[in-house]
Amino acid sequence: MIGLFGGTFDPIHHGHLRPALEVLTALRLRELRFVPLKHAVHRPQPQADATARVAMLRAALRAQPGFALDTRELERAGPSRTYDTLRAVRAEIGGDEPLGLLIGGDAFNGFLDWHRPRDILDLTHLIVMQRPGVALPRDTALRALLDTRRAEQPAALNQAPAGRIWLQAVTQLAISATAIRQCIARGESVRFLLPDAVFAIIEEQALYRGSVIRDAHAAPSA
């Protein structure tokens, strides 16, 4: 199975990397591709430009076998839609290989508001990264979807190329890119919140220093 992990990665940090490694290991993924988005659909645009975000991702992913970078959304015009990305990946790998889309538990709660969610499940499994023991979604439609699609064992994900939902317990690290940008804007160090190689790029390129102190989750753009 190949995994896909999309995000702004503005910047990539240990809160992304550790859960991603746990999924890679637990599900024995052949490869886990990090897919940085260009234009966000549901949130403010990234502050660092694509070149800087890619440089930080390359630096962070280099050390881990199985981690890979997929820049297709940066090369495509227009907003980054997961559905379009999955269709493109499917066209490349064919219809038979299982594909798993990694999303955080919070992101899963809003999954039915995404562009063509049910078509997304025709293209991929969903791997929901959850805090152990965390409550399942309350939304009735999402609960119904989970009831019909939930895989009880990871092996079920290898028995079909797409269509199942797997809840993966991962170590929760309360690190967010928003908090990292705010720290830098206040002149504080972000060392140990992200890999040293990423920290070095932020320092060298003086990234996020002039960033406005704002919360990416507080003001959705569209």
Phi/psi zone of residue 61: left (φ > 0), alpha (ψ -120 to 50 degrees), beta?
A: alpha
Q: Which of 8, 80, 82, 130 binds ligand ATP (CB under 6 A)?
A: 8
Under the criterion CB under 6 A, does residue 129 sit at the interface with ligand ATP?
Answer: yes
**What distance in Å separates the CA atoms of residue 73 and residue 116, rounded to the nearest whole number?**
18
**Distance from the Cα of residue 13 to its chain's centroid:** 11
Handedness of CA 211, 217, 221, 222 (dihedral sign): positive
Based on CB atoms, which residue is closest to ligand ATP, 91 or 218?
218
Based on CB atoms, which residue is closest to ligand ATP, 62 or 217?
217
Q: Is 166 helix (H, G, I), strand (E, B) or coil?
A: strand
Q: Which of residues 152-211 bind ligand ATP (CB under 6 A)?
A: 172-173, 175-178
Based on CB atoms, which residue is closest to ligand ATP, 91 or 108?
108
State the binding string over 95-124 for ligand ATP (x if CB under 6 A, else -).
Answer: --------xx-xx-----------------
Under the criterion CB under 6 A, does residue 216 sit at the interface with ligand ATP?
Answer: yes
Under the criterion CB under 6 A, does residue 26 sit at the interface with ligand ATP?
Answer: no
Based on CB atoms, which residue is closest to ligand ATP, 6 or 98?
6
Nearest to 165 by CA among 106, 129, 192, 125: 125
Edge-to-edge order in the sheet of strand 31-36 = 67-69, 31-36, 2-7, 99-104, 125-130, 165-169
Binding-site ranges for ligand ATP (CB under 6 A):
7-10, 15-16, 19, 103-104, 106-107, 129, 172-173, 175-178, 216-217
